[in-house]
Chains A and B, each alone.
Chain A
């Protein structure tokens, strides 16, 4: 979710009305915005719609609010005139960054606030909507310093030198990737290519090295800049076109005149920007079915006009036109949401759904609750621990050889990089954290372990288990086995213990637990080596059984 910074004064100026701050908070609902902080004139606003880059600027927010307040209504009108600016796209960019769409905006009167919005919008679009500049890189240039036609082509890493933005020395593209902060940040996007994309004018002046950096000469705009050239480059028109439209409409809202650029591809010529409104239909019945609002066609049209649509009734449907910068409308459901937001969530009377069905808990959970009840009755404290852990805890510290477990490829920390495949390490870890707490310590956990099982759809299988530990100056196999007996007998199971070997336990003091010939777990006294590994200086006896296996037998 993008968070943007805007000027309160600038916002009011663009709305054309002074808005009280408390009213502004409510108006933010209509742009899915939330004011996070206010510092003098500076508002930090989080815009929750990740699919509406048109709302990520003062201009976009003001545009919606103008319609909401009735300052304007319906479609915002944008005109674009032909210009003689031409961009020639070389065959060579096909592999590295194949497409560009461009525009010109003239007669701008930019002040500091406007400039900061242009830069912020460009960044937010490229980073959030353009996925870290991968899909969209945007350049804005001082048109006066460019001699068209502009060429979009490629260059060898050391094929040209120019001064990148905010630098003084000339660098080759290769040097930019190594030295310029933006080169370091985004250079990976050009990794593996032996030629880099570049915009050059007819005098071979560099405009930019997309998606890395503009040139300092033409790629820098100031308050004095009157006319700008804008390009968006990337891999897919479905991202580039809305990005360009959002940029030029924002500038047009500040009084700029939009100009069309001819782009000559090897196989076709296109003209951008194309600001022709898009159209769609909504069914009146559908609007009312989803909203539950019982709106008349006239009301619907009015609500749409307040949210920058043009709407007219066509039989049982409403034909709408919406601005070219919107690419988020995929289904008439999207338009229904705009209608409901335009109506105002706060004006809707909530209605508890009158649906009567019988509730039911998961049977496994009910079973677990019985187990927990027995353990608490036996005087044990329940603990909860994370499922994520590490191999050291699961194996090495438990005196075991490593086994295959479910491993996270991108862990946040090496402490949490695998899923536990048994519970006892979590309990032993718990004990090791309470060395100075009064003994006896009697704890248990009912929790999930995750096992590899290639027969399953997800190649893995969750298993609910119960593990229990007693740590005391004297513990015995007798004591732990009678606790296990209490649990199993009270759950109504007959079981058998079979002498076993398990390196986490003392030899000769560990047994496997069998119910109906299926092994369900272990019981025994924990090996002193394990205790030493965890720095525990009290004997520990423990058992771990599978509740999933037991539950299947109920």
Chain B
């Protein structure tokens, strides 16, 4: 038979038996005696304490005073409690006392409990049923297994984030190294280093965000700034005539949220890139567009550059064709002449998407020498930029670009992982 402590038993085990506490208190008094009213205050469960202490002839009571009779060598009941709490055996007469005092209770064995279930229908399979092997002698209540499960929502990645992650992964597999750069740029890196003249319409109030605070940043090292300045003004040593105007340091040091990833390419070119080398960026850009289903003021761009002495326009087309196949499952592609201030020749990529039809995928070109030479790069540099949001929208089954930043938790919870 197994026993375990009751709540009271556990309390006495922890704080000592009341009679033990009383005996110790009386014994600690100089006259080995204490006034009743004092003891009542000091001893928890005083009536019980007094009853058992007197029954054991450890103390006696006279004239409202409790005095010591014999100081016990041991407290067998206290010891018994300790033993039972450790699962050790205790003598029969002590068990009786403990049971009588409701300090312990019988523990039914698992087997006993389980035996009660024999022949019955049970709700759950439990570890006890397995251990006692009684599962062989019970029936399990059948469930309505055709009821669908209660809805729970797993933690998930945002589907647009997953889409971008996959593109990043593919570009790394294709040998591109990721570029990084600041969200707030000087116009120098966003425009000047890319040979966009300072009075270019893309740099005006309506096409580019500006900051009211902080307004100006610092220009990079003098050597680069002076070369870029000269290239704008007269072509410097690039073989170009340049834009022929007076270049302003002030305009170049104005700060702006970057308007395209190409500023990351410009920084990379100026920072001793590997040759041959391949670099890419997937980065947030900002433009003061009218906000509608196709435009938002923040968007992601995917851009990249390839540097090598051997590169030419055929390679540019080869790379674009590969992108169209990789990212848009395009069967057919078209290359169309285009214009960008920083590339020449320039090209636009159209891809025939299986569902969307002909889609403009992005622009590309070979960087002008007015861009590469001032930044210290002497080999041809292919530059490309892809608009991926359209494909993200298609994949996510949405037709409003603002949904890429959706605040609709229900939609996110219910969106399948694709």
Q: A433-B407, A462-B184 are in contact. List 9 more A-B contacts (CB 8 A).
A: A331-B370, A353-B315, A358-B175, A359-B278, A381-B153, A404-B213, A406-B211, A408-B209, A413-B291
C-alpha spacing A309/B130, complex, angstroms: 93
The stretch among A28-36, A185-193, A260-268, A525-533 that forms the contact with chain B is: A28-36
Q: With A30-B337, A331-B235, A413-B291 given, is the CB distance from A386 to B405 under 8 Å?
A: yes
Within 8 A of B (CB), among A23-55: 29-30, 32, 34, 48-52
A48, A359, A408, A442: the one contacting B257 at CB < 8 Å is: A408
Q: With A131-B201, A357-B276, A460-B255 given, is the CB distance from A382 to B183 under 8 Å?
A: no
Cβ of A329 to closest chain B Cβ, rounded Å: 8
Most chain A CB within a 10 A radius of its CB, from B238, B320, B322, B337: B337
Q: Is A490 an interface residue (CB 8 A)?
A: no
A290 touches B313 (CB 8 A): yes
Within 8 A of A (CB), among B302-352: 306, 308, 310-315, 317-322, 334-339, 341, 344-348
B180, B201, B291, B337: the one contacting A341 at CB < 8 Å is: B337
Q: Is B239 an interface residue (CB 8 A)?
A: yes
Q: Which chain A positions have C-beta within 8 A of B348?
A: 48
Chain B residue at smallest Cβ distance from A379 = B155
Q: Which chain A positions have C-beta within 8 A of B296?
A: 386
B-contact bits for A401-424, CB 8 A (1 contact / 0 none)? 000111111111100100100000
Q: With A337-B345, A359-B173 given, is the CB distance from A384 to B240 under 8 Å?
A: no
The stretch among A79-87, A96-104, A298-306, A362-370 that forms the contact with chain B is: A362-370
Q: Is B185 an interface residue (CB 8 A)?
A: yes
The stretch among B13-21, B39-47, B109-117, B216-224 that forms the contact with chain A is: B216-224
B158, B243, B313: the one contacting A383 at CB < 8 Å is: B158
B334 touches A346 (CB 8 A): yes
Most chain A CB within a 10 A radius of its CB, from B211, B245, B278, B410: B211
A-contact bits for B379-415, CB 8 A (1 contact / 0 none)? 0101000000000000000000000110111101100
Q: Which 5 A-B pairs have the closest CB atoms?
A: A292-B312, A350-B317, A292-B314, A359-B172, A337-B345
B306 touches A291 (CB 8 A): no
Cβ of B222 to closest chain A Cβ, rounded Å: 14
Q: Which chain B positions have C-beta within 8 A of A292?
A: 312-315
Q: Which chain A positions have C-beta within 8 A of B183?
A: 387, 419, 448, 450, 460, 462
Cβ of B203 to closest chain A Cβ, rounded Å: 11
Q: Is B212 an interface residue (CB 8 A)?
A: yes
Cβ of A264 to closest chain B Cβ, rounded Å: 25
Interface, chain A (partner B; CB < 8 A): 29-30, 32, 34, 48-52, 128, 131, 135, 236, 238, 289-293, 330-334, 336-337, 340-341, 345-346, 348-362, 364-365, 369, 372, 375-388, 404-413, 416, 419, 429-430, 433-434, 437-438, 441-443, 448, 450, 452, 454, 456-462
B186 touches A331 (CB 8 A): no
A-contact bits for B154-190, CB 8 A (1 contact / 0 none)? 1111101100010011011111111110111110000
C-alpha spacing A345/B321, complex, angstroms: 13
B155 touches A380 (CB 8 A): yes
Q: Which chain B positions have C-beta within 8 A of A456?
A: 182, 217
A442 touches B318 (CB 8 A): no
Q: With A50-B339, A434-B410, A460-B255 given, is the CB distance from A408 to B368 under 8 Å?
A: no
Cβ of A532 to closest chain B Cβ, rounded Å: 20
B178 touches A361 (CB 8 A): yes
Chain B residue at smallest Cβ distance from A292 = B312
Q: With A372-B157, A412-B290 given, is the CB distance from A29 to B337 under 8 Å?
A: yes
The stretch among B1-9, B49-57, B80-88, B281-289 that forms the contact with chain A is: B281-289
Q: Is B133 an interface residue (CB 8 A)?
A: no
Q: With A434-B410, A450-B184 given, is the CB distance from A359 to B177 under 8 Å?
A: yes
Q: With A32-B339, A378-B155, A382-B161 given, is the CB distance from A348 to B210 under 8 Å?
A: no
User: Mind listing 5 A-B residue pairs with CB under 8 Å?
Assistant: A350-B317, A352-B319, A353-B315, A382-B155, A459-B218
Cβ of B53 to closest chain A Cβ, rounded Å: 44
Q: Which chain A positions have C-beta within 8 A of B408?
A: 433-434
Q: Which chain A positions have C-beta within 8 A of B370?
A: 330-331
Looking at chain A's contact residues, the main secondary structure is loop
B157 touches A382 (CB 8 A): yes
A-contact bits for B359-372, CB 8 A (1 contact / 0 none)? 00000001011100
B153, B220, B405: the one contacting A385 at CB < 8 Å is: B405
A434 touches B240 (CB 8 A): no
Q: Which chain A positions have C-beta within 8 A of B382?
A: 353
B210, B298, B346: the one contacting A337 at CB < 8 Å is: B346
Q: Which chain B positions have C-beta within 8 A of A379?
A: 154-155
A452 touches B214 (CB 8 A): yes
Q: Is B241 an interface residue (CB 8 A)?
A: yes
Cβ of A368 to closest chain B Cβ, rounded Å: 10
C-alpha spacing A542/B169, complex, angstroms: 31
C-alpha spacing A352/B322, complex, angstroms: 7
Chain A residue at smallest Cβ distance from B207 = A410
A388 touches B297 (CB 8 A): yes
Q: Which chain A positions have C-beta within 8 A of B321?
A: 350, 352
A458 touches B186 (CB 8 A): yes
Cβ of A422 to closest chain B Cβ, rounded Å: 15
C-alpha spacing A238/B242, complex, angstroms: 12
Q: Is B244 an interface residue (CB 8 A)?
A: yes
Cβ of A395 to closest chain B Cβ, rounded Å: 15
C-alpha spacing A410/B203, complex, angstroms: 13
A-contact bits for B213-253, CB 8 A (1 contact / 0 none)? 11011101000000000000001001111111100000000
